[in-house]
Amino acid sequence: MLGNLKPQAADKILSLMADFKADTRQGKIDLGVGVYKDPNGLTPVMRAVKAAEQRIWENQATKAYTSLAGDPEYRDAMQQMVLGDTASGRVASVATVGGTGAIRQALELVRLANPDTVIHVSDPTWPNHLSILNFMGQAHEMYPYFDNDTRGVAFEAMLDALGRAKKGDVVLLHGCCHNPTGANPTAAQWDEIAGVLEKTGAIPLIDLAYQGFGDGIEADAQPTRMIAERLPEVLIAASCSKNFGIYRERTGILMALSDSDKTRDLAQGAMAYLNRQNYSFPPDHGARIVSTILTDAELKADWQQEVEEIRQTLLSLREQLAQELRDLTGTDRFDFIARHRGMFSRLGATPEQVAAMRQMAGIYMVGDSRLNIAGLNRDSVPVLARAIVEAGV
């Protein structure tokens, strides 16, 4: 039976990691996988996470099951962090296996409600979105998103395509820090996106995986909150992997907002049912770390400060890289790097140029020219800038 299985293509980013490891050159630079690294190339456990784990170790009296939807304290704390006070009373939620689990459960929920739903996805998007949609056999279409000339959002084309969505379709949006491009709509453009959703009756599914890495914890939640206020039904898949640095704990949440108590309760029941079918109780350790931090003023303040340090590190690397490229080229055509937000920027280089940078300088970025800004430090930025120019980007 198992012999009938077909070989699966290796995940591109994970095989890039393996190639990087095998490269014996000194000074090689890993700009591949989407993990935050400090200037020393480490992904440390955050201070507040360590403190929360200690408290949990000291105080936790049982590891008996929580509930199918996960711990209510975690879900309340996450609702508050993502939505503030905008949607109280309208939210059904379940803890999930990371942000990926939240996206998968959101798509399962959509399929349960209407198997023929078309999902609209940005072109490009995080490859796992497409991989999951294809695996599920869920109908989907791409909407234009990235303008390769300006390296900003192709807003007119995006709006135009979203305007053609049908009532009941689902539009997958990156709430902040778009992956893989780093290009994001402005506040005014988000307003227009909400307007189009209102007009078409399409339902937003917001993927929020980098809250705090763009313009700040509150600012990054703003588009999601605005959409939550204006639209009757909204799905939100949030991840704690990056902003709490708890990647391997698999901590996420799916929230479903509706405009009546009856629908909210139906959604809550369906989401708990879906958890049961897929993995039963969601993992609790990461969720408990998050709720311990978010419900304690001191831990929360320390965590907020560390997230802000990460954000500032990313921003100053962006500024430095844009400045180096200004100096080397005598133009401002790479200033988009400073305008992009989050961990990634799409450089707009060809696959040949990406390969040349790898061969010449041992710089590893994803084939679509997505670079992880956190893979840089003050010393490697000039090396990258020179390679970009030498490769003819």
CB of 3 to ligand PMP, least distance (A): 31
Q: Which C-beta is closer to ligand PMP: that of 183 or that of 388?
A: 183
Choose, by CB under 6 A, the member of 99, 175, 223, 283 that binds ligand PMP.
99
Task: Indicate if 102 belongs to the active site.
Answer: no
> In the chain, which ranges are continuous DSSP H helix?
12-22, 47-59, 72-83, 98-113, 127-136, 155-163, 187-200, 217-230, 261-278, 285-294, 297-329, 336-339, 351-361, 380-390
Choose, by CB under 6 A, the member of 79, 122, 224, 239 that binds ligand PMP.
239
Here's the x/- map for ligand PMP, 109-148, by CB under 6 A: it reads as -----------------x----------------------
Instruction: Give the range of 86-94, 95-103, 142-150, 325-333 binding ligand PMP by CB under 6 A.
Output: 95-103
- Token pair listed for 282: 């969601």
Residue found under tokens 């078409």: 200
CB of 98 to ligand PMP, least distance (A): 3
| Residue 30 φ then ψ, to 5° | -95, 105
| Residue 350 φ then ψ, to 5° | -80, 160
CB of 136 to ligand PMP, least distance (A): 16
- Token pair listed for 227: 């959409």
Instruction: Give the range of 76-84, 92-100, 139-147, 385-393 binding ligand PMP by CB under 6 A.
Output: 92-100
Which residues have CB under 8 Å from 295's CB, separation 6+? 73, 77
Q: Under the criterion CB under 6 A, does residue 286 sit at the interface with ligand PMP?
A: no
d(CA 179, CA 183): 8
Instruction: Give the range of 96-104, 157-165, 283-291, 362-370 binding ligand PMP by CB under 6 A.
Output: 96-104
Q: Which C-beta is closer to ligand PMP: that of 252 or that of 348?
A: 252
- Which of these is catalytic: 161, 242, 338, 385? 242
Q: Under the criterion CB under 6 A, does residue 179 sit at the interface with ligand PMP?
A: yes
Q: How many CB atoms lie within 10 A of CB 50?
A: 12
Q: Which of residues 185-224 bind ligand PMP (CB under 6 A)?
A: 207, 209
CB of 179 to ligand PMP, least distance (A): 4
Q: Under the criterion CB under 6 A, does residue 70 sit at the interface with ligand PMP?
A: no
Task: Indicate if 209 belongs to the active site.
Answer: yes
Q: Which C-beta is closer to ligand PMP: that of 132 or that of 154?
A: 132
d(CA 366, CA 19): 12
Instruction: Give the range of 58-66, 239-247, 355-363, 374-382 binding ligand PMP by CB under 6 A.
Output: 239-247
CB of 274 to ligand PMP, least distance (A): 16
Instruction: Rounding to the nearest 10 degrees, give the CA dihedral for residues 242, 369, 14, 9.
Output: 130
Burial environment of residue 293 by CB neighbours within 10 A (0 to 12, 13 to 18, 19 or more): buried
* Amino acid at site 153: V
CB of 101 to ligand PMP, least distance (A): 7
d(CA 47, CA 64): 27
Choose, by CB under 6 A, the member of 124, 175, 252, 342 that binds ligand PMP.
252
User: Is 141:162 a contact under the CB 8 Å cutoff?
Assistant: no
Task: Indicate if 126 belongs to the active site.
Answer: yes
Instruction: Rounding to the nearest 10 degrees, give the CA dihedral for residues 222, 223, 226, 232.
Output: -140
Choose, by CB under 6 A, the member of 86, 93, 100, 243 that binds ligand PMP.
100
Task: State the DSSP code for 98.
Answer: H
Instruction: Give the range of 94-102, 226-234, 266-274, 279-287 binding ligand PMP by CB under 6 A.
Output: 94-102
Q: How far apart are the first and last CA of the chain?
A: 49
Instruction: Give the range of 64-72, 93-101, 220-228, 383-391 binding ligand PMP by CB under 6 A.
Output: 93-101
Choose, by CB under 6 A, the member of 20, 32, 34, 206 that binds ligand PMP.
34
User: Is 117:168 a contact under the CB 8 Å cutoff?
Assistant: yes
Task: Indicate if 57 belongs to the active site.
Answer: no
Q: How remote is the C-alpha of 42 from its chain's centroid?
A: 20
d(CA 290, CA 311): 19
| Residues of this chain that bind ligand PMP (CB under 6 A) | 34, 98-100, 126, 174, 179, 207, 209, 239, 241, 247, 252
Active site residues: 126, 207, 209, 242
